[in-house]
Amino acid sequence: DQQVKQNSPSLSVQEGRISILNCDYTNSMFDYFLWYKKYPAEGPTFLISISSIKDKNEDGRFTVFLNKSAKHLSLHIVPSQPGDSAVYFCAASDRGSQGNLIFGKGTKLSVKP
């Protein structure tokens, strides 16, 4: 049973527009959420994170929103750039683990010029 779900395998957005990537989770023990960006044949690169005590965290063009009651988080990228084209993974962790991350299957974002 998947604890972290990214239901959209792909997303296509025009350059300059907003990209919204969604992630749902089932484990209420998760208290920290992260977004990673991954290019083919490379390891994931950390983008942004959010603690469960917050509902929003912003870093430049990237903003992560957390809705705990809905067990849902989203990553907003605005404005989207062609260089943002990659696979984005949502990951979650709980304080009781050793920092283990549970990943979603990823969403492939394509930003078209």
Partner 1 sequence: GAVVSQHPSWVICKSGTSVKIECRSLDFQATTMFWYRQFPKQSLMLMATSNEGSKATYEQGVEKDKFLINHASLTLSTLTVTSAHPEDSSFYICSVILRTYEQFFGPGTRLTVL
Binding site for partner 1 (CB under 8 A): 4, 9, 32, 34, 36, 41-46, 49, 89, 93, 95, 98-106
Label the pairing between strands 72-77 and 102-103. unpaired
Q: Smallest distance, Å, CB 5 to partner 1?
A: 10
Least separation in angstroms between residue 72's CB and partner 1 is 18
CB closer to partner 1, 78 vs 102: 102
C-beta of residue 34 within 8 angstroms of C-beta of residue 46: yes
The full DSSP string for 12-37 is EEETTS-EEEEEEE--TT--EEEEEE
Residue 69 beta carbon to partner 1: minimum distance, rounded to whole angstroms? 22
Tokens of 57: 């965290």
Closer by beta carbon to partner 1, 41 or else 113 = 41
Q: Which is nearer to partner 1, 61 or 105 (CB)?
A: 105
The pair of structure tokens assigned to 94 is 């709980």
Give the rounded distance of the alpha carbon of 73 from its chain centre.
Answer: 7
Residue 3 beta carbon to partner 1: minimum distance, rounded to whole angstroms: 10
Which residues are 66's β-sheet partners? 73
Nearer to partner 1, 34 or 73 (CB): 34
